[in-house]
């Protein structure tokens, strides 16, 4: 990727102190976000994808959580242990985030317009009240809400789920951020509305040139929107590649397993219906991870090497540019 690198995460470790001991929700994660590109982070619940995003935003609740080590660099500037007032200037202004559940992230007692103007007031104090109001209407128009002049005066409960997510996007984009972090932005929405929102995010990215981190568990969404993908499992990135490589030549058995467990439509020609491929067992508890590879107990290609005698697997280059996999027995590329 020859585009401008705007965010770099290096060896990030996030710990949570709990009654049952310290747990590493994110354990040595590296990734980069480039201008105008979308990075997808995929994984199942508890794999550490949302925690990584919260760490970038400086929103890890402390205590019990903390960034234990590693670096987060926004345009070369470290965001770990940054002064809180400094961070407030970046959060929402340079790096914005949208969440999964648009109803709980909007305040039910303020109008939509109010909530957009609040962000503009905080980050662009030079604008007058009337300029702010005009900008709120512009933002709603930008995200494709019909009759925005009327909608600014409405409350969240008067809008549908898809509309609310559009409002969230409008709020996030109102300060023209460099980076938009979208944490499962369409998971709560129906497919036809999901298609609308993904289309909108694509369009806005082209217009505004921001870098996007898209966190999702849906490989379909990743395939259609991302440029680069990182697959997470138990707090670590197990495979990282550009989207074409990942889908056409997955190298980690977990990535392959995830792809095989989705029923695909392309079987319309012949009739039905082999059993779905599954990944046996379940995700191990973070309190009780095996030594060696975290995926060993569910892996079909497991060998002695995976059980910890050579240490944990680390990301190593695999076939193809920019393709890394953390596996002792990566799949031969098909």
Partner 1 sequence: MSEYLIEVNNLGKRFPIKGGLLGREVGAVNAVNNVSFKIKKGETLGLVGESGCGKTTLGRSILRLIEPTSGEIIFNGKNILEYNAAEMRAVRRKMQIIFQDPYASLNPRMTIGDILAEPMEIHGLHMDKTARRKRLFELLNQVQLPSDALNKYPHEFSGGQRQRICIARALAVEPEFIVCDEPVSALDVSVQAQVVNLLMDLQKELGLTYLFIAHDLKVVEYISNRVAVMYLGNMIEVAESSELYGHAKHPYTKALFSAIPHASTKGRAGRIILEGDIPSPMNPPTGCHFNPRCWNATEECRKIFPPVTNASPTHQYRCYNPIQ
Residue ranges that bind partner 1, judged by CB under 8 A:
44-45, 160-163, 190-196, 198-199, 217-225, 243-244, 247-248, 257-259, 261-266, 268, 271-273, 275-280, 282-283
The nearest distance, CB 221 to partner 1, in angstroms, is 5
DSSP 136-173: HHHHHHHTT-SSHHHHTTS-GGGS-HHHHHHHHHHHHH
Instruction: Decide: 250 and 259 in contact? Cβ < 8 Å.
Output: yes
Burial of 129 (0-12, 13-18, 19+ CB in 10 A): exposed
The structure tokens listed for 318 are: 């695999």
Nearer to partner 1, 44 or 101 (CB): 44
Beta bridge partners of 236: 233
The nearest distance, CB 40 to partner 1, in angstroms, is 12
The nearest distance, CB 41 to partner 1, in angstroms, is 15
The nearest distance, CB 310 to partner 1, in angstroms, is 26
Contacts of 246 (CB under 8 A, 6+ apart): 229, 231, 239, 255, 323
d(CA 88, CA 223): 33
The nearest distance, CB 70 to partner 1, in angstroms, is 26
Nearer to partner 1, 115 or 255 (CB): 255
Biggest CA-to-CA distance, the chain: 68
Would strands 5-18 and 21-34 be described as parallel, antiparallel, or unpaired? antiparallel
Closest Cα to residue 177, out of 124, 242, 109, 100? 124
Taking residue 101's Cβ as centre, other Cβ atoms within 10 Å add up to: 15
Nearer to partner 1, 85 or 192 (CB): 192
Nearer to partner 1, 73 or 195 (CB): 195
Nearer to partner 1, 162 or 177 (CB): 162
Nearer to partner 1, 98 or 163 (CB): 163
Element (H, E) at 89: helix 84-90
Q: What are the residue ranges of helices labelled H in 143-274?
A: 148-151, 161-173, 191-208, 219-225, 243-248, 253-260
Nearer to partner 1, 181 or 279 (CB): 279
Q: Tell me which residue has tokens 């590296």.
A: 30
d(CA 244, CA 241): 8
The nearest distance, CB 120 to partner 1, in angstroms, is 27
The nearest distance, CB 19 to partner 1, in angstroms, is 15
The nearest distance, CB 238 to partner 1, in angstroms, is 13
Nearer to partner 1, 12 or 201 (CB): 201
């Amino acid at each position: 990727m020859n585009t401008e690198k705007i965010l770099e995460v290096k060896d990030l470790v996030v710990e949570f102190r709990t009654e049952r001991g310290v747990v590493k929700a994110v354990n040595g994660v590296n990734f980069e976000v480039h201008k105008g590109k979308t990075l997808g982070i995929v994984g199942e619940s508890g794999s550490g994808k949302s925690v990584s995003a919260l760490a970038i935003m400086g929103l890890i609740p402390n205590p019990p959580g903390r960034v234990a080590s590693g670096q987060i660099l926004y345009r070369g500037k470290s965001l770990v242990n940054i002064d809180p007032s400094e961070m407030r200037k970046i959060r929402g202004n340079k790096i914005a985030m949208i969440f999964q559940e648009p109803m709980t992230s909007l305040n039910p007692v303020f109008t939509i317009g109010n909530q957009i103007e609040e962000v503009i007031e905080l980050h662009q104090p030079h604008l007058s009240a009337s300029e702010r109001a005009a900008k709120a209407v512009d933002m709603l128009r930008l995200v494709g809400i019909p009759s925005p002049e009327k909608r600014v005066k409405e409350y969240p409960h008067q809008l549908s789920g898809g509309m609310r997510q559009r409002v969230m996007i409008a709020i996030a984009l109102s300060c023209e951020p460099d980076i938009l972090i979208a944490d499962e932005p369409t998971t709560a929405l129906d497919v036809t509305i999901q298609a609308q929102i993904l289309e909108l995010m694509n369009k806005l990215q082209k217009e505004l040139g921001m870098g996007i981190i898209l966190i999702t568990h849906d490989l379909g969404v990743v395939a259609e929107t991302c440029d680069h993908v990182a697959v997470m499992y138990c707090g670590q990135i197990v495979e990282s590649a550009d989207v074409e490589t990942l889908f056409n030549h997955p190298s980690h058995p977990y990535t392959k397993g995830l792809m095989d467990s989705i029923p695909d439509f392309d079987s319309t020609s012949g009739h039905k219906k082999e059993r779905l491929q599954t990944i046996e067992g379940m995700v191990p508890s973070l309190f009780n991870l095996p030594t060696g590879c975290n995926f060993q107990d569910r892996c079909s290609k497991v060998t002695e090497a995976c059980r910890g005698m050579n240490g944990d697997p680390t990301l190593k280059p695999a076939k193809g540019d920019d393709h890394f996999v953390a596996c002792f027995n990566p799949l031969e590329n098909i």
